[in-house]
Amino acid sequence: MAEIELNSGEDAGSVPPARDLPEPTPQPTLSDWQALAAKEVKGAGLNWHTPEGIDVKPLYTAEDVTADPGLPGFAPFTRGVRASMYAGRPWTIRQYAGFSTAEESNAFYRRNLAAGQKGLSVAFDLATHRGYDSDHPRVVGDVGKAGVAIDSVEDMKILFDGIPLDQMSVSMTMNGAVIPILAFFIVAGEEQGVPRAKLDGTIQNDILKEFMVRNTYIYPPEPSMRIIADIIAYTSAEMPKFNSISISGYHMQEAGATQVQELAFTIADGKEYAKAAMAAGLDIDKFAGRLSFFFAIGMNFFMEVAKLRAARRLWHRVMTELGAQDERSKMLRTHCQTSGVSLQEQDPYNNVIRTTVEALAAALGGTQSLHTNALDEAIALPTDFSARIARNTQLVLQEETGITNVVDPLGGSYYVESLTQELVTRAWDIIERVDAEGGMAKAVAAGWPKAMIEEASAARAAAVDKGETVIVGVNKYRPSEDTAVDVLDIDNHAVREAQVRRLEQLRANRDEAAVTAALEALRAGAEGSENLLSLAVDCARARCTLGEISAAMEVAFGRHATKPTPVSGVYGGAYADDLRWERLRDGVDATERRLGRKPRMLVAKMGQDGHDRGANLVSSMFGDLGFEVVPGPLFQTPAEAARLAIDSGVDVVGASSLAAGHKTLIPELIGHLRDAGRADIRVIAGGVIPAQDYQSLRDAGVQAIFGPGTNLINAAEEVLRLLGHNMPPREEAAE
């Protein structure tokens, strides 16, 4: 080290003479910043009012942080459930997939696992979700289309052929037919040589959100809650490595919920399930550590980061109030999936960017596992090409960005900490309302959570259609030419024929006396109080089918059905004083004068697809416009939809399809209308329909097709033209 040279006359023990120092520069204050910012933007306001009702300021300071976030691994776990988080081990890459037959899905899983995927997440087709075997007449258009068809334990064994279930964590998204699916999984493990105590994974088993948004339920709410309690009891005793429930907010956000609503209702659902298990006599600390969660991650980047942090804080509070003593019982562990709703058909390669942003938000929020959507999932199931990009998005984030080297890197951000507290406060207000009204099961039965979500959905759709919420490539920066992408097309007829053949073979070779006895025991158990999963495992060993097991419980429980009740006034309210809206209203009035009544539209949902966001938006918007809307019940066959259209005297049927059944179901609907002599009823189609299918639908008689991202104002103009009203050209109407 260089020696310090002393000035003349100084020695090491003397005090240096005083020197004149410059005055410190005054530090700017918050008011100084406000004045400067206002000057820069010529006095315009800078605050952003989010869909959650949060007034986001352009600048956050230490004064905005009101709660200590603590440390990772310690209560209330705001900064993460593990002290080391990704610095110790990155999140699990768990891609959600399943399509066609068990053989096809098994081959897809093997390819992905060989390429770096770490866990499996199984998507089942809608026939399976709704408790029907593939040969049931109500599921002709659904088999193998939006997931893999599983009719028996034999299908489940093929699904995991060559995949060691004592080494692989398996997540299964199943709610309605959760009893037979979990029974098949247990028996498939047994016959692979893996005892159930070694099975590792998660079953979604979250029925309350099905009644709110996704609608793939089978039984009414009360017996459905009993099923959940039975599964928690069985797995707690027999499957210590298995997560008995994954409480899902994902489908709420996909249905249009704000992040506050998704957060609040998901935590409230979890609280309801914990209370149900406790009411069944289970010790909270014996099962709570195996509860997990599932959230959607959308494009509001910092809001999503804060949402995951707020969820951990809220769950710790809920479980503490319920009496949990073990800190593991109070840890919220979650899987996340990037948003499907944010994906767009238009300019589809932008979806790679969207998924990357959302995946980064999930990681910075502290998820335990993650699925990244493929770029083509706005219109179809992913191809191998698009699935590889989606999976590699996570690999790049883990291996190249450095974000896994620091625990909670956004912790301490004034903005993130403030947003986290804001979300905690607003979500807790909703949770308290749920509690005041008797819990989430009663709130769902009353219908107000579903109505709240549908109002938020309609408000967002109107904001997008008006251009107030920008979607790049859709309502701003549209490309001059559409970009075509190759999509995966499932031959529904071939898949169904293969499944029917396997079912015939199964029934021909099994012991029918054993089948009858097992099903009778299950039916009696459903009418009594025996554990339903335990009885269903016996059914699976006897080679009972999924449909047979579901039907045996249906004898005791009945099958649940609801009628859609679209919200009104939200969409129209957003368009008050809008010139195009007024011209559309004039067009509806003119059509009413010509017909002698309001124009009438049936919004039809055929097949077993319960996703009704699109159908509800169409019903709400056309109702606000002045149409008489007939909201068709869910799960209709084409014959039932045709009969309802004729009996209701509609002018138009709007067929909503989100699960790839359009090529089978819509032409069949048109055929029934023609056979009844009502070819004058116009049929239009909307939803997740690839452009490559448009011509075949037009050839079948569909008169207009509205794909993902369609502006509903434009759709209404087209419908009025079909009804004979001479609408002004779009360019003139937009002046």
Active-site residues, by number, are 96, 250-251, 605, 609, 611
C-alpha span between 420 and 78 (Å, rounded): 9
Report the run of H or E that residue 110 belongs to, with start and end: helix 102-114
Cα–Cα distances in angstroms (integers) from residue 99 to residues 145, 153, 273, 370, 639, in the given order: 6, 17, 30, 20, 26
First to last CA, the chain: 77
C-alpha span between 170 and 93 (Å, rounded): 12
Which residues contact residue 576 at a Cβ distance below 8 angstroms, ignoring those fewer than 6 apart?
none
Could you tell me if 499 and 101 are in contact, meaning their C-beta atoms sit under 8 angstroms apart? yes
Q: Partners of 683 in the beta sheet?
A: 653
Secondary structure (3-state) at 378: coil
Could you tell me if 166 and 201 are in contact, meaning their C-beta atoms sit under 8 angstroms apart? no
C-alpha span between 619 and 600 (Å, rounded): 11
> Which residue intervals of 116-198 are DSSP H helices?
126-129, 153-159, 178-191
β-bridge pairing 369-371 and 92-97: parallel
Structure-block tokens of residue 13: 């023990």
Closest CA to 80 of 366, 453, 371, 358: 366
Cα–Cα distances in angstroms (integers) from residue 454 to residues 307, 458, 696, 702, in the given order: 20, 6, 32, 28
Could you tell me if 521 and 538 are in contact, meaning their C-beta atoms sit under 8 angstroms apart? yes
Secondary structure (3-state) at 540: helix
The count of other CB atoms within 10 Å of the CB of residue 403 is 15
The count of other CB atoms within 10 Å of the CB of residue 41 is 10
C-alpha span between 591 and 157 (Å, rounded): 58
Residue 162 phi/psi, 5-degree rounding, is 80, 5
Tokens 């399930």 correspond to what residue?
273
C-alpha span between 246 and 237 (Å, rounded): 18
Could you tell me if 436 and 114 are in contact, meaning their C-beta atoms sit under 8 angstroms apart? no
Q: What's the alpha-carbon Rg for the chain, to the nearest Å?
A: 28
Which residues contact residue 148 at a Cβ distance below 8 angstroms, ignoring those fewer than 6 apart?
98, 99, 100, 101, 102, 104, 105, 122, 123, 124, 125, 128, 155, 159
Q: Which amino acid is at 18?
A: A
Distance of CA 302 to the CA centre of its chain: 19
Which residues contact residue 674 at a Cβ distance below 8 angstroms, ignoring those fewer than 6 apart?
701
Closest CA to 138 of 695, 727, 665: 665
C-alpha span between 242 and 602 (Å, rounded): 44
Alpha carbon dihedral 457, 460, 462, 464, in 10-degree steps, equals -140
What residue ranges in 251-307 does DSSP mark as E strands?
A: 291-297
DSSP state of 688: S
Q: Partners of 293 in the beta sheet?
A: 247, 334
